[in-house]
């Protein structure tokens, strides 16, 4: 990939991620927390992110968090295929597996680990991978 292609891929990821967070009705402060952005990223930067004029910082933690968010959104679309608004609603509903907290609260309070917890709740393959389980072949009889 060329540098221009890498930059365009990062801009595409940025627009997708910010669009997703907009759909979940997060404030700019909440977006900044969820993405783990440095404090020097000002709120007007989000307008550039939305417009595709700038990309998220190419820091590994920020990019991992964006990928977790995309995977959470994909899992929500799979879980609620007939209602595109259910994902945002699910993120704001209290959940017994999170001790009565909302998934959004888990993410805001738990950072990257919170994102992983929410993704594990929605995607059993991710949860399986997190356990470090390995597939073992059983000998045939």
State in Å, rounded, how far the first CA of the chain is from the last one.
49
Instruction: Count the domains in the chain.
Output: 1
Separation between Cα atoms, residue 106 and residue 132, nearest integer Å: 23
Supply the pTM of this predicted model: 0.85
Please state, in angstroms and rounded to a whole number, the distance separating the CA atoms of residues 82 and 41: 36
Nearest Cα to Cα of residue 43 among 31, 55, 25: 31
* Domain annotation covers residue 141: no
- Express each pLDDT in 81-134 by its tens digit: 999 889 999 999 999 999 999 999 999 999 999 999 999 999 887 756 555 555
Domain for residue 135, yes or no?
Answer: no
Query: Which of 24 and 129 is assigned the larger pLDDT?
Result: 24
Q: In this structure, is residue 104 part of a structural domain?
A: yes
- Domain housing 31: 3-130
For the chain, strand residue ranges (E) read none
Residue 60 inside a domain? The answer is: yes
Within-domain flag for 28: yes
- The answer to whether residue 29 scores a pLDDT higher than 70 is yes
Q: Please check whether residue 138 lies inside any domain of the structure.
A: no
Q: Cα dist. 36→56, 84, 118, 131, 139 in Å?
A: 11, 26, 16, 25, 47
- Residue 100 is assigned to a structural domain of this protein: yes
In angstroms and rounded to an integer, the radius of gyration of the C-alpha atoms of the chain is: 17
Residue 43 lies in a domain: yes
């Amino acid at each position: 990939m060329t540098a221009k292609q890498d930059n365009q891929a990062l801009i595409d990821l940025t627009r997708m991620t910010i669009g997703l967070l907009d759909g979940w009705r997060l404030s700019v402060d909440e977006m900044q927390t969820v993405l783990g952005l440095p404090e020097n990223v000002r709120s007007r930067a989000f307008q550039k992110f939305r417009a595709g004029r700038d990309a998220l910082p190419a820091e590994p933690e920020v990019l991992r968090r964006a990928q977790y968010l995309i995977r959470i959104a994909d899992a929500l679309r799979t879980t609620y295929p007939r209602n595109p608004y259910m994902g945002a609603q699910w993120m704001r509903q209290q959940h017994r597996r999170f001790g009565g907290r909302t998934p959004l609260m888990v993410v805001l309070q738990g950072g990257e680990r919170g994102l992983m917890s929410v993704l594990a709740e929605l995607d059993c393959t991710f949860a399986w991978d997190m356990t470090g389980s390995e597939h073992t072949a059983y000998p045939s009889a």
